[in-house]
Structure 1
Amino acid sequence: MPDHVPGPRALLRRLRELMAEALDPQTRLDRIVREIAKNMVAEVCSLYVLRADSVLELYATEGLNPGSVHLAQLRLGQGLVGTIAASARALNLSDAQNHPAFAYLPETGEEIYNSFLGVPVLRAGRTLGVLVVQNKTKRIYRDDEVEALETIAMVIAEMIAAGDLARLIRPGMELDLTRPASFRGLAFNEGVGLGHVVLHEPRIVVTNLFNEDIEEELKRLDEALGSLRLSIDDMMSRREVAFEGEHRAVLEAYRMFAHDRGWVRRLEEAIHNGLSSEAAVEKVQSDMRARMTHMTDPYLRERMSDFDDLANRLLRQLMGRGPEMVAATLPKDAIVVARQMGAAELLDYPREKLRGLVLEEGSITSHVVIVARAMGIPVAGQLKGVVSMSENGDAIIVDGEDGTVQLRPQPDVEAAYAEKVRFRARRQELYRELRDKPSVSKDGVHVDLMMNAGLAVDLPQLAESGAAGIGLFRTELQFMVAATFPRAEAQERLYRDVLESAKGKPVTFRTIDIGGDKVLPYFRGAAQEENPALGWRAIRLTLDRPGLLRTQVRALLRAAGGGELRVMLPMVTELGEIAQAREIIDREVRHLSRHAYLLPTTLKVGAMVEVPALLWQLDELMEAVDFVSVGSNDLFQFVMATDRGNAQLSDRFDPLSVPFLRVLKQIADAGARANTPVTLCGELAGRPISAMTLIGLGYRSISMSPAAIGPVKAMLCELQVSRLEELLSAALASGGAFRNLRRDLQAFAAENSVPL
């Protein structure tokens, strides 16, 4: 091969001409590989395309046996080509046949070639195929030759993604781009949704691939980079951005990337090779993503999301676009697919069109998951790779009951899930028939089934679910979905709407529970904490910032004028915190009274049992408050010392284990001794088997998501509480801490025909 080869610009110009000609797909591919071989003075140029069955099929070749086209095949990971496809990394070899991965395909006649250069055909980090050049002489291809072949591979990737090869696909030999994919993650909210993908951050489609003027493209890139850097500097100089903490670190990472000379140099090289500025960004981004997803260092892999965001910002700068709004063109059965998103962003989508939410990251306590649960849509999370594998409009199924997602499902899979949805609908119809029936067990034990809420969208479900009231109104959700602190008037308006919608049913308002994992971006008072779940949050924060609590209490008192007001304090650790909060509440009562406001006729103050320290103050606690509510989510993670947002630990410990049930029993018994009402509001209350267990422990009020009330009531109506109490009493007293109590409870339900 000569030392100097014609530059890739001439080849790209020739490829553009070929793509514009009225050619059938196979002829176009044949001409493309011929032009590549000619331009690079290669004796062989071959294109392999990845099929849905993970087989790389030879689609075109110049130099190998033409009869092997569409017959020669390699499995993913097999041979040099399969190795490139599996690793998304180029291979540059002077003696290919002695490489340990070499696999000889006799039908191709490639045994006489020694030098080998193969690059992955990448789009959005996904491998769609492999492009190869070969020569008889032994040599290592130069870096500029590797770069040229990667640039051409990027153009071919866009051809594949655009469907240009559709006429060459034989039945049963679909391309990888359209193959069904299954993902298993974590179930964040129950339900099943069938619909079509809506990417929360739509992939920007680059249509202008080639440049006419290198200097003009370099100028465009430089101007866009300048604007990008200015926008980042502007963000970092704003007063509302803390000068320390996690947000600052993220912006510093953005700024580091934006000024990285290596990144800019790769962009400029791609432009010199004939790509437009937009195509250069797309190529470098795709190359970087493919490399970083194969790295084992979790820190470096996490930085990929920072890089992706920056590259997308640069693309929008170059293409003159603002953030894309998809709500206007949303399909009627939209399933939003995102790496992660904010709670307010989900509310931008019209509820009537949403069928589900799929998160590549996230946890069950993420703000967006809490809002999705309030909206009653199925959610699955921790699904690595689902974003890059999805395209807008792809058919998709999200199963929020087992945390699975089926992307581009086969017809039989889709039919099975459609039947599951119909079954759930029939079951929900049965639950609706129970709505107005009393929540009483077979042996006459009455249990109040309350619902959890936090937003205006929850309120219609109070009547629809047949809930006895709102056992937990999370007031912080109003703060989480707002751009700034909600003013007192806005808070009062929401609280009044909640009370009016309740129509006399009890409503328990939890005072603002921010901090920990509930970070408000506009709240400048919070510093970065190593262990935020145990840090400055909830009642600790509001007692230190009494203005927040005073404003909220005043709004609650005014909204509840003439009726009953129930206020609950979260994250209480010591009884002194209750006394301090009561002083603030009493001061606001006196203030409103002096100004002749209508006050609540009844004011009840309660506390949440979430911190284990309260377990040694239970009798004093029951005397100090009007009611108690057990926050089982936090209490469980603190008692078991397990981070509930950690996917590795999510299923490690069972909340229906003997030790934790003893804790719950202890709280219920203390409430009974003091005649203080006790409610449990957490994930435990919303599942029939755990709700059954709570009733057996003595809980007569439990609060859950509206969708869970029907299944729990159906269980309760068939339950003999006295028999269950005998089972639990014996189990908790036996000392069998290692006993599989969940299995015993399931057996009890089966023997007594209790539906779970």
Structure 2
Amino acid sequence: MPHTGGGPRTLLKRLRELMAEALEPQERLDRIVREIAANMVAEVCSLYVLRADSVLELYATEGLNPNAVHHAQLALGQGLVGTIAASARPLNLSDAQRHPAFAYLPETGEEIYNSFLGVPVLRAGRTLGVLVVQNRAKRLYQDDEIEALETIAMVIAEMIAAGDLARLTRPGLELDLSRPVSCSGVSFNEGVGLGHVVLHEPRVVVTDLFSEDPNEELVRLDSALGSLRLSIDDMLSRRDVAFEGEHRAVLEAYRMFANDRGWVRRLEEAVRNGLTAEAAVEKVQSDMRARMLHMTDPYLRERMSDFDDLANRLLRQLIGRTTDEMAQSLPRDAIIVARSMGAAELLDYPRDRLRGLVLEDAAVTSHVVIVARAMGIPVAGQVKGAVSMAENGDAVIIDGDEGKVHLRPQPEVETVYAEKARFRARRQELYRELRALPSETRDGVAVDLMMNAGLAVDLPQLSESGASGIGLFRTELQFMVAATFPRAEAQERLYRDVLDSAGGKPVTFRTIDIGGDKVLPYFKTTTQEENPALGWRAIRLTLDRPALLRAQVRALLRASGGRELKLMLPMVTELGEIAQARELIDREVRHLARFAHLLPTSLKIGAMLEVPSLLWQLDELMKRVDFVSVGSNDLFQFVMAADRGNSRLSSRFDPLSVPFLRVLRQIAQAGERSGTPVTLCGELAGKPISAMALIGVGFRAISMSASSIGPVKAMLRELPLEPLREELDAALDGDDALLPMRAKLVAFAEAHGVPL
């Protein structure tokens, strides 16, 4: 029997009137289910709401026993209603009691009804409840009835999200939307942040759900779709978008979705049923997300993020809201939650308002993580489901030490982390008091503690941290956050600012290190590499593209006029590469001298030791360069043949093992023999326990993130070096490569009162 109560548009009009009336929440719900039943000519209409304890509670009914309201309950997955909530899919049955999932609730009196239609109440892909209609007669409900009930369910979802039903919840219970959620990921940068969620690609909150004129809404929808398609075509045609690769593939997926007739048809149907264009986009987006999240094909599930991004772009087209306006509304304690994002996008947010970053998809070496580390904010990565479970403005805690995220935390959890944050702040104050004290061991051996940098945002931390200089300035970060190759003038300006900010302290500039995992979307390559970390990158790339290296060297020479310039070559594999690079550098020196430019007072050229082949050329290497810097991140992954971006291998091998410490000691000893300064710049330098090991095997200069200098200095000043060196030498000269060196180092620190 088709519904004859006036159709969905009439029903939506009545619901809009009910929403506007000054009614108590329970009375409003009771009248809503009554209107739905009358409009759809159903003998029963019931609303079940999902609680935080995964129980579906009957909140309103027309046709069932009214005394069952707030008493009838089904667990998630139990009965027909629980099955709908668990699967996020409608269920349309002509004889409900024959379905294997049917569960009999005697208090409701529903045994006399046969036909059953239930739809999930969805918001942003999350199930908040289930809406059901029933009839005595055995029949299947028609497609337009299912569509109408789904549209109504969307309106109810907004009521639940707005908190209107919280007053109906019994003491001690709460709705699923507000329940605390804890997610585990991977620590990408240490620290603790308490604040409020800011979704990087925020779901636009649609407040105007009902339309007066469907034809006008269809015109608005068509216009917004046209603008969306044009913007995607424009991005694809721009010169700064690569002609192949992942960057372009994402935009091609956007274009495919934007032109998909099935998607557009569903949007138009929702508008014809009485929704505004914005509400139609949100409804179709939520339906699609719920269905795709239950697909087993990982490729199809990954495409959901493309669809989400596209739908959000369309919503912003409809409401005319720009990214700049959204940035201005940022709270003062913002914790950015994103599936993924680029380094430049993070820099668009005002630094003084950021308290942390949560990423669903990223590696510890991702560009955005490198930038976040430079900004000194805690980062948790690989936090699956964070975006779908979070709402803009939710209270959130990020524990960067453990890689954990607590959404809508309970007061007890918030108290614990607030105290942890205060403790860290007090500890940082103690570290600041160490800034002016000598950087030396308890027995008087000096060790230079320098900081890694790469952006202008890093520079104030040089004086704040008490670093003795910049041991690694990653020049490629300027290239990674730009839309096109930075012009020579922009490079020179940055390098001059760095040297000015250093105030005479030494700065080591690494020449551009791109390729591998550092892909520039505007830099075209003709081949797809199977092993990019071992491929065309760093000095290999710049020697093949000498104009790129020469332009950078010229900018560095001009910026360093009248000062010392320390220039470091990355990813050196054989000594011939150093000779080639020197020839290019000398050519630029001669060029500037010919035109009477002020040159550096001294030019020192060094090499990064990251490739194991240099371990068999150490003495020759030390004679051909002015200094050496060990890139521990790459050297460790190459020595152990373990991809550092692979989460399955990230904790499998220990850099404080006997084999790797022997390698590091060998490098330090080679530098000492030749009188060539040797520094280590990498993650290994930034932890007190591993820094202690580095100093013990012979390093007298290490470079790390600015936030690590305080803890490492506190360790250093309490470290008795001679006993440590003797103990390490004895262990490394022994014949037990399986010796647990980390435990041995911890025991030494405890025995000698060294803070770790």
- TM-score category (smaller protein): over 0.9
Match of 2:623 in 1: 623
Task: Say which is worse superposed, 727-736 or 671-680, in terms of deviation.
Answer: 727-736
Instruction: Summarize the Cα distance change of 1:735–1:34 in structure 2 as closer, same or farther, 3 Å threshold.
Output: farther
**Distance (whole Å) between structure 1 residues aligned to residue 471 and residue 29 of structure 2:** 65
**Distance (whole Å) between structure 1 residues aligned to residue 704 and residue 719 of structure 2:** 19
Match of 2:238 in 1: 238
Instruction: Summarize the Cα distance change of 1:743–1:89 in structure 2 as closer, same or farther, 3 Å threshold.
Output: farther
Match of 2:137 in 1: 137
Match of 1:729 in 2: 729
Give 2:380's aligned amino acid.
A
Match of 1:174 in 2: 174
**Distance (whole Å) between structure 1 residues aligned to residue 254 and residue 460 of structure 2:** 43
Task: Say which is worse superposed, 589-598 or 678-687, in terms of deviation.
Answer: 589-598
- 1:696-719 deviation digits (Å, cap 9, x = unpaired): 221111100111111111111222
CA drift at 1:4: 6.8
Give 3-state SS (helix, strand or coil) of 1:287's partner.
helix
Give 3-state SS (helix, strand or coil) of 2:206's partner.
coil
Task: Say which is worse superposed, 576-585 or 331-340, in terms of deviation.
Answer: 331-340
- 1:588-637 deviation digits (Å, cap 9, x = unpaired): 11111112222222211111111222222222222221111111111222
Instruction: Summarize the Cα distance change of 1:242–1:425 in structure 2 as closer, same or farther, 3 Å threshold.
Output: closer
Within 5 Å, which residues of 2 pair with 1:687-726? 687-726=687-726
Within 5 Å, which residues of 2 pair with 1:452-463? 452-463=452-463
**Distance (whole Å) between structure 1 residues aligned to residue 100 and residue 745 of structure 2:** 56
**Distance (whole Å) between structure 2 residues aligned to residue 546 and residue 617 of structure 1:** 25
**Distance (whole Å) between structure 1 residues aligned to residue 266 and residue 462 of structure 2:** 57
Within 5 Å, which residues of 2 pair with 1:19-30? 19-30=19-30
For the 8 Å contact 2:217–2:277, the answer to whether it is kept is yes
**Distance (whole Å) between structure 1 residues aligned to residue 345 and residue 377 of structure 2:** 15
CA drift at 1:48: 1.0
**Distance (whole Å) between structure 1 residues aligned to residue 143 and residue 697 of structure 2:** 71
CA drift at 1:687: 0.5
**Distance (whole Å) between structure 2 residues aligned to residue 662 and residue 114 of structure 1:** 76
Give 1:194's aligned amino acid.
L
Match of 1:161 in 2: 161
**Distance (whole Å) between structure 2 residues aligned to residue 684 and residue 277 of structure 1:** 53
Match of 2:326 in 1: 326
Give the count of matched residue pairs: 756
**Distance (whole Å) between structure 1 residues aligned to residue 96 and residue 102 of structure 2:** 7
For the 8 Å contact 1:245–1:527, the answer to whether it is kept is no
**Distance (whole Å) between structure 2 residues aligned to residue 361 and residue 672 of structure 1:** 43
Match of 1:87 in 2: 87
Match of 1:395 in 2: 395
Instruction: Summarize the Cα distance change of 1:488–1:46 in structure 2 as closer, same or farther, 3 Å threshold.
Output: same
CA drift at 1:286: 0.6
For the 8 Å contact 1:115–1:139, the answer to whether it is kept is yes
CA drift at 1:372: 1.3
For the 8 Å contact 2:367–2:480, the answer to whether it is kept is yes
Match of 1:363 in 2: 363
Within 5 Å, which residues of 2 pair with 1:173-192? 173-192=173-192
Within 5 Å, which residues of 2 pair with 1:418-437? 418-437=418-437
**Distance (whole Å) between structure 2 residues aligned to residue 194 and residue 499 of structure 1:** 35
TM value normalised by structure 1: 0.96
CA drift at 1:511: 0.6
Give 3-state SS (helix, strand or coil) of 1:120's partner.
strand
Match of 2:575 in 1: 575
Q: Percent identity?
A: 81
Unpaired stretches in structure 2, ≥5 consecutive residues: none
Task: Say which is worse superposed, 26-35 or 198-207, in terms of deviation.
Answer: 198-207
Give 1:289's aligned amino acid.
R
Instruction: Summarize the Cα distance change of 1:2–1:339 in structure 2 as closer, same or farther, 3 Å threshold.
Output: closer
**Distance (whole Å) between structure 1 residues aligned to residue 106 and residue 255 of structure 2:** 53
Task: Say which is worse superposed, 17-26 or 421-430, in terms of deviation.
Answer: 17-26
CA drift at 1:656: 1.7
CA drift at 1:409: 1.1
Give 3-state SS (helix, strand or coil) of 1:331's partner.
coil
**Distance (whole Å) between structure 2 residues aligned to residue 62 and residue 646 of structure 1:** 55
Match of 2:584 in 1: 584
**Distance (whole Å) between structure 2 residues aligned to residue 324 and residue 563 of structure 1:** 40
- 1:565-603 deviation digits (Å, cap 9, x = unpaired): 110011112211111110011111111111222222221
**Distance (whole Å) between structure 2 residues aligned to residue 241 and residue 416 of structure 1:** 46
Give 1:709's aligned amino acid.
I
For the 8 Å contact 2:450–2:469, the answer to whether it is kept is yes
Match of 1:548 in 2: 548
Match of 2:676 in 1: 676
Give 2:343's aligned amino acid.
A
Given the alignment of the two structures, is residue 373 of structure 1 paired with residue 373 of structure 2, yes or no?
Answer: yes
Match of 2:521 in 1: 521
**Distance (whole Å) between structure 2 residues aligned to residue 117 and residue 649 of structure 1:** 49
- 1:240-298 deviation digits (Å, cap 9, x = unpaired): 33322222222221121112122122222222322222211111111111122222322
Give 3-state SS (helix, strand or coil) of 2:418's partner.
helix
Given the alignment of the two structures, is residue 61 of structure 1 paired with residue 55 of structure 2, yes or no?
Answer: no
Instruction: Summarize the Cα distance change of 1:91–1:666 in structure 2 as closer, same or farther, 3 Å threshold.
Output: farther
**Distance (whole Å) between structure 2 residues aligned to residue 570 and residue 461 of structure 1:** 24
Instruction: Summarize the Cα distance change of 1:735–1:79 in structure 2 as closer, same or farther, 3 Å threshold.
Output: farther
Match of 1:18 in 2: 18
CA drift at 1:528: 4.2
CA drift at 1:319: 2.5
CA drift at 1:369: 1.4
CA drift at 1:681: 0.5
Given the alignment of the two structures, is residue 488 of structure 1 paired with residue 496 of structure 2, yes or no?
Answer: no
**Distance (whole Å) between structure 2 residues aligned to residue 742 and residue 97 of structure 1:** 63
**Distance (whole Å) between structure 2 residues aligned to residue 438 and residue 22 of structure 1:** 70
TM value normalised by structure 2: 0.96
Match of 1:609 in 2: 609
CA drift at 1:686: 0.2
Give 3-state SS (helix, strand or coil) of 2:655's partner.
coil
**Distance (whole Å) between structure 1 residues aligned to residue 746 and residue 103 of structure 2:** 55
Match of 2:512 in 1: 512
Match of 1:105 in 2: 105
Task: Say which is worse superposed, 595-604 or 104-113, in terms of deviation.
Answer: 104-113
**Distance (whole Å) between structure 2 residues aligned to residue 500 and residue 118 of structure 1:** 68
CA drift at 1:134: 2.1
CA drift at 1:171: 3.1
Match of 1:415 in 2: 415
CA drift at 1:80: 2.3
Task: Say which is worse superposed, 158-167 or 598-607, in terms of deviation.
Answer: 158-167
Instruction: Summarize the Cα distance change of 1:461–1:220 in structure 2 as closer, same or farther, 3 Å threshold.
Output: closer
Give 3-state SS (helix, strand or coil) of 2:323's partner.
coil
Match of 1:341 in 2: 341
CA drift at 1:181: 1.3
CA drift at 1:324: 5.2
For the 8 Å contact 2:240–2:483, the answer to whether it is kept is no
**Distance (whole Å) between structure 2 residues aligned to residue 238 and residue 713 of structure 1:** 49
**Distance (whole Å) between structure 1 residues aligned to residue 105 and residue 122 of structure 2:** 24
Match of 1:654 in 2: 654
CA drift at 1:442: 2.0
Match of 1:479 in 2: 479
**Distance (whole Å) between structure 2 residues aligned to residue 59 and residue 94 of structure 1:** 24
Match of 1:438 in 2: 438
Q: Which 4+ runs in 1 deviate beyond 6 A? A: none
For the 8 Å contact 1:515–1:526, the answer to whether it is kept is no
Instruction: Summarize the Cα distance change of 1:701–1:618 in structure 2 as closer, same or farther, 3 Å threshold.
Output: same
Match of 2:75 in 1: 75
CA drift at 1:538: 1.3
For the 8 Å contact 1:718–1:753, the answer to whether it is kept is yes
**Distance (whole Å) between structure 2 residues aligned to residue 3 and residue 557 of structure 1:** 80
Instruction: Summarize the Cα distance change of 1:483–1:242 in structure 2 as closer, same or farther, 3 Å threshold.
Output: closer
Give 3-state SS (helix, strand or coil) of 2:325's partner.
coil
For the 8 Å contact 2:2–2:142, the answer to whether it is kept is no
CA drift at 1:526: 6.6
**Distance (whole Å) between structure 2 residues aligned to residue 509 and residue 433 of structure 1:** 29
- 1:393-441 deviation digits (Å, cap 9, x = unpaired): 2211111111111111111111111111111111112212221211221
**Distance (whole Å) between structure 2 residues aligned to residue 170 and residue 527 of structure 1:** 62
- 1:131-162 deviation digits (Å, cap 9, x = unpaired): 11223333333332222211111111112112
Task: Say which is worse superposed, 630-639 or 165-174, in terms of deviation.
Answer: 165-174
